């Protein structure tokens, strides 16, 4: 911080900062510095947040945060989300799409704001919608203190302000995912891609939590304090915990905050009340606080267990889905921040002209440590760690320690003079001769804290990608006109950075040399085989399509859909689509990129140029990104759960084991009288979206729910586990790992076939009358067969005959056997049911061996039906389906008489 001359008029002195090529010092806030206010009074109407307050001690000043921007408003992309009441800054970089709101500032703009960050550019980590609290409701906001306490309490914010001393001090909050993009480039984690600006510093005003807990009187045996917010999420309310002795330790500075930078909390930052836990990851500082629960054990909240952990590096995303006990191991929970640093200037893609060769460049950035520790040194190397140079460090936080004991700031005592703990980031800089930069390949920085913990040279990759803190490396490119600097990554999906460049060129980022080839490596290194790039467009097509044109094709007449900004006409493929015309109708007029890429094969992608008709113009792309073609959801309860164009959430409420690898997953619908709305014989799509990455896995299933059942959805699924020979099923293993209470998205219906009853069905919307179904299935392929069989058997007026051939490996593998036997019992006159086992036990009395030519010739034989009165329905493993196709074609069956689900 700048030292002010005591002769200066401090009411006019402004802490100006030059951010030219060689600023003389690290960044400072641009806020005015003035004489301290002595009015620290507050009452039940709210705290005093005077914007002119600042403290001085002799000749040294501490600064305030930059002023908030007065012109911010609700952004267009938020208007059709639950956050349509939240005013935001358009400069923030969205990391997880439009919603939920997870953002960081551009790194240079964050650094340029100085030690304190405005609420506009402060990073945000939201797991879901922002709770809406009107200004008139702030003082009535209630929270409880409960659990293992002698005196449980309920307090509102007015009482918290009136009955407890208010304090103010600066705290740097850091997301545990800061710098995660670097890990995602090396190997995809389950976390979205934060850059190096997932941190911010603010002046927080509130009450020391220890004062509240002392009044509640924790009982003997209490060891943890759990926090819960008002943000209702698919897996319950967000919550976590810390140790009770940390909360009670004044030096830890844990606070119940209601003010930020002299203003009431912004909605994104916890309005009206949140927890602030200095020195720990931001995920512990729960926003929109409603409950404080004192316990003997850590929180059992879903988000405490499945978020903010560093699992052992050998646990990959697929493996992690099978390790619930590992997730619950508190040894892997993250609390204190680790030591970290980053270079802010030179910025990414910044250039230095050759004309500057005689000067110096002031390399500068930030550093922080955790648990109240101070960063004691920052070192810079230009030769990959062979030699190091100490950088200068400034600690703006220390300026606040010099304020008088009773100094008031924003209605709270500036509680800093006695405190040894460091709660904030610091800034480092080093003047380097440009001639030295011209001879170097890169600039690398590392920091060390007072416990001698130093940033590691290499990355510790983990499945959630958290706490990434290897040396921060900026590459120096020598170009014709001078030097160009390249950071490791850019946040979110922004392309750029030396890590992506090196990986794309086939470099191995884990070779200990930042992907650069070492001596002899060319002979032994094996570059990843690049994925085949399939062109989805017709390069001869040049038509630009407006949003109005797209909207005209959002129905069942000439349905158009969008993939990666390109428009396709699905009309010609309505009859041929394996998922039926409904699959195309369901995305008509919308962006289908995610679903298409998640579901379709390489062969399907190669077909797309035939249906390509043009590109969305820029206005249409913006409109589509802002959800302007999205379907408006009905606010009143719907009788039917499934929607063709909108994903709908259902909550996993039970998981029942049927066999060694098969389970029935039961989901609660939106309300108890709601029906699924799935026609007989059709499928629904299930989407499991990781709560951290939001990456989608989409698969189609046929539930076994009764058509008329209300409030519940039952899906029988065989879980394909990893084996030494092959990788297991991504979706099935993920479903098997999610806890009860987790949500899954559903959409539908899809499928070419629908059974209307009494022998009448449709195939690709063409009606057909059937007198006999030949139903061939294996394993979990029983589910669509079971639906049709149940409909036929339950209707006494349905004359359709069913021949069911169900092949499995062992008797335990016969799924839905009890239900199927029950349906056939009493209906033997219109159903013949045969089970066959390839590995039967000694007491098995049914058919033995794989279902093959001999069985099909004996039980089915050549096609003798007239006018398609016989229809073969097949669902099972790929090998079974191929076998059936070959054998039935050889017996004279037409392709249109054999339907594969």
Q: Kindly state the helix (H) or strand (E) to which residue 598 belongs, with its residue range.
A: helix 593-599
Q: Which of these is catalytic: 89, 175, 399, 415?
A: 175
Q: Coil, strand or helix: which one is 380?
A: strand
Cα 568 to Cα 563: distance, rounded to the nearest angstrom: 8
Binding-site entries for Mo-molybdopterin: 175
Residue recorded with tokens 């066999």: 659
Number of other CB atoms surrounding residue 340 within 10 Å: 26
Q: Are 669 and 711 within 8 A, CB to CB?
A: yes
Q: Coil, strand or helix: which one is 727?
A: coil
Q: Which of these is catalytic: 78, 120, 307, 813?
A: 307
Strand 167-174 with 412-414, pairing: parallel
Active site residue 426: no
Cα 873 to Cα 362, 484, 754, distances in angstroms: 73, 64, 12
Active site residue 761: no
- Chain centroid offset of residue 876 CA: 33
Cα 588 to Cα 254: distance, rounded to the nearest angstrom: 52
Structure tokens at 304: 């405490």
Q: Print the SS3 string covering 392-416.
A: EEECCHHHHHCCCCCCEECCEEECC
Q: Coil, strand or helix: which one is 534?
A: coil
Q: Kindly state the helix (H) or strand (E) to which residue 624 belongs, with its residue range.
A: helix 618-625
Q: 659: burial class by Cβ within 10 Å (0-12, 13-18, 19+)?
A: middle
Q: What is the CA radius of gyration of the chain?
A: 32
- Strand segments, DSSP code E, in 576-710 are 612-616, 648-657, 662-668, 683-689, 696-701
Number of other CB atoms surrounding residue 89 within 10 Å: 20
DSSP-H helix ranges across 702-799: 730-737, 782-794
- Short-list 668, 670, 704, 664, CA closest to 684: 704
Kindly write down the DSSP assignment for every residue of 203-262, as one continuous string. Answer: EEEEEEHHHHHHHH-BPTT--EEEEEEEEEETTEEEEEEEEHHHHH-GGG--EEEEEETT
Cα 188 to Cα 462: distance, rounded to the nearest angstrom: 10
Q: Which of these is catalytic: 32, 126, 235, 308?
A: 308
Active site residue 813: no
Bridge partners of 719, per DSSP, are none
Q: Coil, strand or helix: which one is 118?
A: coil
Check residue 149 and report its DSSP letter: B
Binding-site entries: 175
Q: 274: burial class by Cβ within 10 Å (0-12, 13-18, 19+)?
A: buried
Cα 219 to Cα 221: distance, rounded to the nearest angstrom: 6
Cα 142 to Cα 160: distance, rounded to the nearest angstrom: 10
- Short-list 14, 32, 27, CA closest to 396: 27
Bridge partners of 169, per DSSP, are 204
Q: Are 691 and 745 within 8 A, CB to CB?
A: no
Cα 679 to Cα 787: distance, rounded to the nearest angstrom: 10
Residue recorded with tokens 């703006």: 396
CA-CA-CA-CA torsion sign (803, 807, 811, 812)? negative
Who's near 756: CB < 8 A, 6+ residues apart?
680, 762
Q: Kindly state the helix (H) or strand (E) to which residue 551 belongs, with its residue range.
A: helix 547-551
Residues assigned a catalytic role: 175, 307-308
């Amino acid at each position: 911080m700048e030292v002010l001359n005591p002769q200066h008029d401090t009411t006019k002195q402004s802490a100006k900062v030059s951010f030219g090529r060689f600023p003389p010092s690290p960044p400072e806030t641009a806020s005015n510095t003035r004489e301290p206010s002595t009015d620290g009074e507050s009452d039940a109407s709210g705290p005093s947040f005077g914007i002119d307050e600042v403290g001085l001690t002799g000749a040294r000043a501490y600064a305030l945060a930059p002023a908030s921007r007065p012109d911010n408003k609700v952004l267009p992309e938020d208007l059709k989300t639950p956050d349509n009441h939240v005013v935001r800054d358009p400069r923030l970089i969205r990391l997880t799409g439009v919603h939920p709101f997870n953002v960081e500032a551009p790194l240079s703009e964050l650094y340029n704001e100085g030690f304190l960050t405005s609420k506009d550019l402060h990073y945000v980590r939201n797991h879901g919608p922002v709770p809406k609290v009107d200004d008139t409701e702030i003082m009535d906001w209630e929270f409880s203190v409960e659990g293992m306490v002698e005196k449980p309490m309920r307090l509102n914010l007015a009482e918290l302000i009136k009955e407890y001393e208010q304090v103010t001090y600066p705290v740097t909050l850091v997301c545990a995912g800061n710098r995660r993009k670097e890990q995602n480039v090396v190997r995809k984690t389950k976390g979205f891609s934060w850059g190096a600006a997932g941190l911010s510093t603010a002046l927080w005003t509130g009450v020391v939590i220890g004062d509240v807990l002392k009044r509640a009187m924790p009982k003997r045996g209490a060891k943890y304090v759990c926090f819960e917010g008002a943000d209702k999420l698919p897996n319950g309310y967000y919550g976590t915990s810390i140790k009770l002795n940390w909360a009670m330790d004044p030096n830890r500075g844990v606070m119940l905050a209601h003010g930020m930078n002299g203003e009431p909390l912004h909605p994104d930052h916890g309005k009206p009340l949140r927890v602030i836990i200095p020195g720990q990851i931001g995920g512990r500082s729960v926003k929109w606080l409603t409950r404080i629960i004192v316990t003997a054990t850590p929180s059992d909240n879903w988000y405490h267990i499945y978020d903010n952990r560093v699992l052992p590096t050998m646990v990959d995303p697929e493996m992690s889905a099978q390790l619930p006990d590992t997730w619950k191991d508190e040894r892997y929970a993250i609390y204190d921040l680790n030591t970290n640093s980053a270079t802010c200037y030179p910025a990414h893609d910044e250039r230095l002209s050759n004309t500057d060769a005689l000067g110096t460049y002031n390399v500068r950035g930030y550093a922080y440590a955790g648990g109240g520790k101070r960063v004691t040194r920052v070192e810079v190397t230009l030769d990959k760690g062979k030699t190091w140079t100490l950088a200068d460090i400034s600690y703006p936080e220390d300026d606040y320690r010099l304020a008088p004991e009773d100094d008031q700031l924003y209605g709270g005592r500036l509680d800093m003079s006695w405190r040894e703990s460091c709660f904030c980031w610091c800034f480092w800089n080093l003047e380097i001769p440009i001639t030295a930069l011209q001879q170097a390949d890169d600039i690398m920085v590392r920091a060390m804290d007072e416990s001698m913990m130093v940033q590691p040279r290499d990355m510790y990759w983990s499945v959630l990608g958290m706490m990434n803190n290897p040396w921060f490396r900026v590459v120096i490119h020598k170009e014709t006109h001078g030097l160009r600097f390249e950071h490791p990554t850019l946040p979110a999906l922004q392309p750029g950075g030396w890590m992506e460049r090196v990986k794309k060129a086939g470099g191995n980022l884990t070779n200990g040399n930042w992907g650069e080839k070492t001596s002899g490596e060319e002979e032994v290194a094996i570059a990843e085989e690049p994925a085949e790039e399939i062109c989805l467009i017709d390069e001869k097509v040049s038509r630009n399509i407006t949003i109005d044109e797209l909207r005209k094709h959002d129905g069942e007449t000439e349905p158009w859909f969008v993939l990666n900004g390109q428009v396709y006409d699905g009309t010609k493929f309505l009859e041929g689509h394996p998922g039926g015309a409904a699959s195309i109708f369901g995305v008509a007029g919308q962006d289908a990129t995610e679903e298409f890429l998640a579901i379709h094969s390489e062969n399907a992608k190669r077909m797309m140029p035939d249906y390509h008709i043009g590109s969305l113009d820029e206005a249409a792309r913006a409109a589509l990104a802002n959800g302007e073609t999205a379907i408006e959801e009905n606010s009143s309860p719907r009788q039917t759960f499934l929607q063709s164009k909108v994903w709908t959430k259902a909550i996993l409420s039970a998981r029942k084991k049927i066999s060694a690898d098969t389970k029935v997953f039961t989901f609660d619908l939106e309300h108890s009288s709601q029906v699924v709305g799935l026609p007989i014989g059709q499928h629904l799509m299930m989407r499991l979206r990781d709560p951290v990455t939001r990456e989608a896995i989409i698969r189609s299933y046929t539930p076994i729910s009764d058509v008329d059942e209300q409030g519940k959805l039952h899906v029988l699924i065989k879980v394909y586990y990893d084996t030494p020979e092959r990788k297991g099923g991504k979706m099935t293993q993920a479903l098997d790992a999610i806890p009860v209470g987790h949500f899954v998205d559903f959409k539908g219906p899809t499928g070419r076939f629908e059974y209307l009853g009494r022998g009448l069905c449709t195939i690709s919307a063409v009606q057909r009358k059937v007198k006999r179904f030949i139903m061939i299935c294996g394993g979990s392929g029983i589910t669509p067969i079971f639906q049709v069989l149940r409909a036929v058997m339950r209707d006494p007026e349905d004359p359709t005959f069913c021949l069911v051939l169900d092949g499995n490996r062992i008797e335990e593998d016969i799924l839905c056997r009890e239900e199927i036997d029950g349906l056939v019992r009493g209906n033997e006159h219109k159903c013949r049911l045969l089970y066959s086992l390839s590995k039967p036990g000694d007491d098995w009395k049914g058919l033995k061996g794989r279902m093959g030519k001999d069985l099909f010739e004996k039980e089915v034989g050549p096609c003798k039906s007239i006018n398609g009165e016989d229809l073969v329905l097949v669902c099972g493993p790929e090998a079974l389906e191929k076998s059936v196709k070959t054998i039935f074609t050889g017996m004279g069956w037409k392709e249109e008489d054999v339907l594969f689900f």
